[in-house]
Amino acid sequence: MDTVMIRGLRVYAYHGVKEDEKRKGQPFELDIDVAADLHKACQSDCIDDAINYSSVTKCAVRTMLAEKNDLIERAAQRVADAILQEFPAKEVTVTLKKPRAPVAADFEYMAVRITRRREA
């Protein structure tokens, strides 16, 4: 299996349990792994045979901005679902990081990682 990787995709969005998070928004960061068979793209050198990482990026950003979710788990699930729906991926892993989570502690980020597979 081959993997298209997107790292550190920054999106300013409006997710969180607290109303202030949904109103003011905050930065999020995504790491996305899209597993697919890329043999055809490797042979043809044609973008139409590839998982276009620019298109995947646009899909993820659009999905992050389409709704306001309480949980980052839900937002990550929506991104994974959208990618599986729009691209011929066999599996997608989304790591959604929340660097400004409202937690009274010194941390780099809070995050969730989910992996979803295409239904057979």
Q: What is the mean pLDDT of each run of 10 residues along the chain (120 residues)?
A: 97 96 96 97 96 98 98 98 97 97 92 92
Per-residue pLDDT at 51: 97
Which domain does 73 fall in, by range? 2-117
Per-residue pLDDT at 120: 66
User: Catalytic amino acids?
Assistant: 98
CATH number (domain holding residue 57) = 3.30.1130.10
When divided into structural domains, the chain yields a total of 1
* Nearby residues of 3 by Cβ (< 8 Å), 6 or more positions away: 33, 34, 35, 36
